[in-house]
A = this chain, B = another copy of it.
């Protein structure tokens, strides 16, 4: 049994198979400069992480995604993948444009299907459920170009390094690993933090009834106060090497920007993981949330608004977990009847303080091997 089918049935591949020709063509084309987050989106488009999208969405899909959480053909999709420019300039529907990063590197080209205005308020409310520009996702679409360029992309192979943070990251690579291991069920875990034991408990719990685990850290743009991807990667590797059976875990990078869109991004994260071959997706409390914009369970409940099977990937909802002395192990409010006085917990602030001072938190909260990696990082700050 192969990895789960991609969204829409076919894994998209928009990597140019004649890079020299594309480079030659691009020299004569008007150029669009992509901000860092859009570069990550372009990479994912190229490798099929956003299948069935083969480029930046057009106006109909844009409106449909925002209004209904689906493409115009009904395929579930909750986050519009857009390319904003300050204005049309030399760009015109039916023509091609070069795509460059902010350093001027050529990334690929787009066949412009359409130019249309960003509907900022609709998008902010529909995707992020707020107009508040203090929300990092809203701030990004506010700062981005308000003219959207739709169209299929062609991406230079150079834009796609062999690895991201030393990790495999292409859906085809992860799917091949799943096939090689013969897994029928694969649970994917989205993370942008080191995995402490509370999250490790969710992983272990999910893995008990699945064939394998895809630990899938997001390595694209995140908030500036997040721990850097290379430090996180070192933590993931150490955790898996020491505490998990290697044959049951795939560690791969997700080269995507965080949007902090809460429930809409939870569905988005699940669909993208389906493209990576996963059959199940872990959804914790306030998944992909930020501040107080979303209810604790919004990101779990949104899955229930889709018909069974419609997403093609199953959400596994989890509560916060904690070491419980009463139970004598990890548990959650669903599985422990004991009160808070039996819980071993520590605030994020306190944890950072301890690590910065080079002091080990309790091993029931942070594995000592991971604590050491984090101590070394905090020393550099």
Binding site for B on A (CB under 8 A): 201-202, 204-209, 242-246, 248, 316-319, 326-337, 363-364
Contact = CB atoms under 8 A, between A and B. Distances in A.
Contacts of A248: 334-335
A205 B333 CA distance: 13
- Which 5 A-B residue pairs are closest in the complex by CB-CB distance? A245-B337, A204-B335, A209-B316, A329-B329, A205-B208
Contacts of A316: 209
Given A248-B334, A334-B248, A327 B207 contact: no
A212 to B, nearest CB: 9
11 contacts: A202-B208, A204-B331, A208-B335, A209-B316, A243-B327, A243-B337, A244-B335, A244-B337, A245-B334, A245-B335, A329-B330
A333 B244 CA distance: 10
Given A245-B333, A245-B334, A363-B328, A209 B206 contact: yes
Contacts of A328: 363-364
A332 B208 contact: yes
Contact of A208 (B246, B329, B334, B337): B334
B245 A318 contact: no
B319 A208 contact: yes
Given A329-B329, A331-B204, A364-B328, A209 B337 contact: no
Contacts of A243: 326-327, 337
Contacts of A317: 209
B245 A208 contact: no
Contacts of A245: 333-337
A333 to B, nearest CB: 7
Contacts of A326: 243
B204 A209 contact: no
Most buried by B among A202, A327, A329: A329
A204 B332 CA distance: 9
A206 B335 CA distance: 10
A334 B207 contact: yes
Contacts of A318: 208-209
A289 B202 CA distance: 31
Contact of A337 (B246, B327, B364): B246
Contacts of A244: 335, 337
A204 B207 CA distance: 14
A317 B245 CA distance: 18
A182 to B, nearest CB: 13
A204 B316 CA distance: 15
Contacts of A201: 329
Nearest to A330: B329
